[in-house]
Amino acid sequence: MLEKTLTIVLAGSSGERLQPLVEDRAKAALPFGGKYRIIDFTLANCLNSGLRRILVLTQHQSHSLQKHLRDGWSIFNPELGEYITTVPPQMRTGGGWYGGTADALYQNLYLIERSEAKWVVILAGDHIYRMDYAPMVKFHLDHDADLTVACMVVGVQEAQSFGVMSLDKQDRVVDFQEKPSNPHALPNDPEHSLASMGIYVFSVDKLIQALTSDHERQESNHDFGKDIIPALIKRDKVFGYQFGVSGRLPVHRFRAA
């Protein structure tokens, strides 16, 4: 299962809200706890989950991040098909930089196709949390899902900073709102909402189809939360993986840094 899974870490954010800390580096490269960087949380999760084929998509102020990955994460064996590879914008689909989270993957479709992976895990490189991704990948396979979105319960006011989801009794996503001003509350719990963690598992064929279709829509923001997920839930099998439910270990200090 995991040996047929490709992991893509989105680490190109400029983090404008964190100025002047990000004046000379990407948000994912910000120091945290001494010698560590924010991206180390995501990469440690991957390592501990058994995910060892990782592409890190970089963009803004990427030198510090690339140096950190070279010096601190050269631990995988390429002869065994293991790698952490940084991928700056390749300009393969035009002359622009990444124009959104979905566009970042679309510009690197050739890497996804030639990976021969069956499933793709998509992560953010600037979130602080601890999670084992393997049970989520298994959940995706068990439900024969096209897309699985990790989610967790947060306060209604906090939910304004996240994508907010509604699930049916089978954990299928029936509604998704990106950073709503008035988030939907959980049934029988008006104080809390179900928020997307920005962690996705795609079946690779569905991902390629969704990215290609989104690229052709001129009115699209080319963003997973704003465009890809709302379009998919109307016609495809999109499920919510409720992290911390049914005996799963709780998330620790999840936050969008």
Identify the pLDDT of residue 147. Answer: 97
Identify the pLDDT of residue 36. Answer: 85
Identify the pLDDT of residue 251. Answer: 41
Strand-pair partners of 195: 152, 164
Identify the pLDDT of residue 256. Answer: 44
Q: What is the mean pLDDT of each run of 10 residues along the chain (257 residues)?
A: 88 58 66 84 94 89 82 80 85 70 90 92 91 95 96 91 91 92 88 93 95 88 89 93 62 42
Structure tokens at 119: 């499933």
Instruction: For residue 170, give the CATH number of its domain.
Output: 3.90.550.10
Q: How many domains, the chain? A: 1
Whole-angstrom Cα distance, residue 83 to residue 6?
A: 10
Q: What is the CA radius of gyration of the chain?
A: 17
Identify the pLDDT of residue 64. Answer: 80
Whole-angstrom Cα distance, residue 6 to residue 4?
A: 7
User: Environment class of residue 7 by beta-carbon count within 10 Å: exposed (0-12), middle (13-18) or buried (19+)?
Assistant: buried
DSSP state of 249: P
Identify the pLDDT of residue 12. Answer: 61
Answer for the pair 150, 197: CB distance below 8 angstroms, yes or no: yes
Identify the pLDDT of residue 22. Answer: 53
Whole-angstrom Cα distance, residue 71 to residue 37?
A: 12
Identify the pLDDT of residue 99. Answer: 75
Q: SS3 sequence, 128-188?
A: ECCCCCHHHHHHHHHCCCCEEEEEEEEECCHHHHCEEEEECCCCEEEEEEECCCCCCCECC
Identify the pLDDT of residue 257. Answer: 42
Among 7, 4, 12, 1, smallest CA distance to 83 is for: 7
The H or E element spanning position 101 is helix 101-106
Q: Domain range spanning residue 62? A: 2-256
Whole-angstrom Cα distance, residue 109 to residue 77?
A: 24
pLDDT in tens, 128-148: 889 999 999 999 999 999 999
Whole-angstrom Cα distance, residue 119 to residue 3?
A: 10
